[in-house]
Amino acid sequence: MKQLHKQSSYRRDEEMQISQTPAYSPKSLKHSRSIQRSISYLLREQRLLFILVGILIASTFFVIQPSLSRLSSDSSSSVDPRHGISAGIRDSIVSYNNRGDAGRKYGDLVGRSPYINGVGRVPVGIGRKRKRVVVTGGAGFVGSHLVDKLIARGDDVIVIDNFFTGRKDNVVHLLGNPRFELIRHDVVEPILLEVDQIYHLACPASPVHYKYNPVKTIKTNVMGTLNMLGLAKRIGARFLLTSTSEVYGDPLEHPQKETYWGHVNPIGERSCYDEGKRTAETLTMDYHRGAGVEVRIARIFNTYGPRMCLDDGRVVSNFVSQAIRKQPMTVYGDGKQTRSFQYVSDLVDGLVALMEGDHVGPFNLGNPGEFTMLELAEVVKETIDPGATIEFRPNTADDPHKRKPDISKAKEVLNWEPKISLREGLPQMVSDFQNRILNEDEGKGNK
């Protein structure tokens, strides 16, 4: 009975619902009404006009884009071999430094670089392919200038440094840049990263620093270079070694060509550096021949510029700091030994040209202008203080008598040669040193 009653009440409910719902209308009618509603929705508030304008903008972009890429590939045939990228592409690179202060801090001379004078924003996919680059020793003197250049041309840069001689101050202006990463790491330990290029600079470069712990210097040169070459092999990256003119030792050939094998003391105080770099070159060539790694070797001659360590015992930084502090400039030996001095932006241009070019090397990168130590002291006096004095001290062991690069190979093959003379470059370095020495005197400890 109860069930019968329930069923009859359900039926009553259903009947009531049916009587309340509107009369049935066929689907086709509903459709045509919704189309009418959509059309009137579109016609209201100029929506149709906005849609048409959107379509017009999108199609203009897709029509223009192929012709733009054709243009850029045409201009890539006119590659500027010194910089390794086409003038057209180079001009179209979005320069972060147009807005950031990295370009400004890079110094006036470097500021003239075409990379920093980039034009407006370029649509994604039209510019040069962005490279991922590792710079070991990138917080050091040369490394930090190289990183500035790579960031300015639009690359993603990872710096690996153990801060033995490098300083965070050298890259502090890049810390907020999303394309820049800084890793505290010792290259003696392996590391795994995904990059396209490896600039391997990590190694103390001044005698004071590399003699401080000679065994560690050898480890850095041998194990550090092995680790970085191993990484290059594993990920298929191109590897550039910053070797040194010290591989020529106290040369018997003058000026030194890349074909000269050198005159090196294998058991002296400088051997940890000289022989360390020679072994690093050997490893680099063996990875190239044996494992097909794409490698480049630069033999760097004396380089100077802003961000050098203040008291690293290298002759230019010594003379400049001493003259600024009103101390006598120390000349070792009779001061007649010669050196050539290259401004850092010239070196950085050479390193990039080498990395981007097709030739393994080795290439001498240096300024062939030759100065005796006494002549250098004169230029420093002219630039800083005409009253500066000189103090003579006995010479250090294995100090080469002459050093002058023959750069004809780099000139011919890389179309590279230094542009900045000592008299142009020195004032840039002096103003950086003056600021830092002032900070030091004020107790800010900016060494």
Ligand X SMILES: NC(=O)c1ccc[n+]([C@@H]2O[C@H](COP(=O)([O-])OP(=O)(O)OC[C@H]3O[C@@H](n4cnc5c(N)ncnc54)[C@H](O)[C@@H]3O)[C@@H](O)[C@H]2O)c1
d(CA 235, CA 52): 48
Stretch 66-95 residues interacting with ligand X (CB under 6 A)? none
> Judged by CB under 6 A, does residue 362 bind ligand X?
no
Nearer to ligand X, 202 or 272 (CB): 202
x/- contact string, 182-211, with ligand X (CB under 6 A)?
----xxx------------xxxxx------
Shortest reach from residue 180's CB to ligand X, in Å? 15
Stretch 206-265 residues interacting with ligand X (CB under 6 A)? 220, 224, 242, 244
Shortest reach from residue 422's CB to ligand X, in Å? 14
Give CA separation, 210 vs 273, 274, 307, 433, in Å. Answer: 7, 10, 18, 22
**Helix (H) or strand (E) segment spanning residue 2:** helix 2-20
Nearer to ligand X, 130 or 254 (CB): 254
Nearer to ligand X, 94 or 193 (CB): 193
Q: Which of 88, 127, 140, 357 binds ligand X (CB under 6 A)?
A: 140
> Judged by CB under 6 A, does residue 364 bind ligand X?
no
| Selected range binding ligand X among 103-111, 158-166, 285-293, 414-422, rule: CB under 6 A | 158-166
Q: Which amino acid is at 193?
A: L
Rg (alpha carbons) of the chain, rounded to whole number: 32
Among the options 106, 199, 210, 273, which is catalytic?
Answer: 273
Nearer to ligand X, 79 or 218 (CB): 218
Shortest reach from residue 121's CB to ligand X, in Å? 33
| Selected range binding ligand X among 124-132, 157-165, 249-257, 433-441, rule: CB under 6 A | 157-165
Whether residue 343 lies in the annotated active site? no
Nearer to ligand X, 89 or 346 (CB): 346
Count of Cβ atoms closer than 10 Å to residue 338 Cβ: 16
DSSP string, 34-62: HHHHHHHHHHGGGHHHHHHHHHHHHHHHH
d(CA 1, CA 397): 120
Shortest reach from residue 208's CB to ligand X, in Å? 10
**Helix (H) or strand (E) segment spanning residue 275:** helix 271-291
| Selected range binding ligand X among 76-84, 140-148, 323-331, 397-405, rule: CB under 6 A | 140-148
Cis bond leading into 362, ω under 30°?
A: yes
User: Which residues, other chains included, contact 258 with Cβ-Cβ below 8 Å and sequence gap of 6+?
Assistant: 299, 361, 362, 363, 364, 406, 409
Residue 329 has φ and ψ, to the nearest 5°, of -80, 130
DSSP string, 147-207: HHHHHHTT-EEEEEE--SS--GGGTGGGTT-TTEEEEE--TTS------SEEEE--S--SH
| Selected range binding ligand X among 56-64, 114-122, 161-169, 258-266, rule: CB under 6 A | 161-169
| Selected range binding ligand X among 51-59, 164-172, 379-387, 408-416, rule: CB under 6 A | 164-172
d(CA 417, CA 367): 8
Stretch 291-330 residues interacting with ligand X (CB under 6 A)? 300, 302-303
Stretch 97-136 residues interacting with ligand X (CB under 6 A)? 136
* Residue 4: both structure tokens together: 């019968």
* Residue 198: both structure tokens together: 């490896």
Give CA separation, 236 vs 146, 156, 193, in Å. Answer: 22, 17, 11
Nearer to ligand X, 190 or 292 (CB): 190
Shortest reach from residue 184's CB to ligand X, in Å? 9
Q: Count the site residues for ligand X by CB under 6 A.
A: 29
Catalytic residues: 273
Q: Could you list the residues that contact ligand X (CB under 6 A)? A: 136-137, 139-143, 160-166, 186-188, 201-205, 220, 224, 242, 244, 300, 302-303
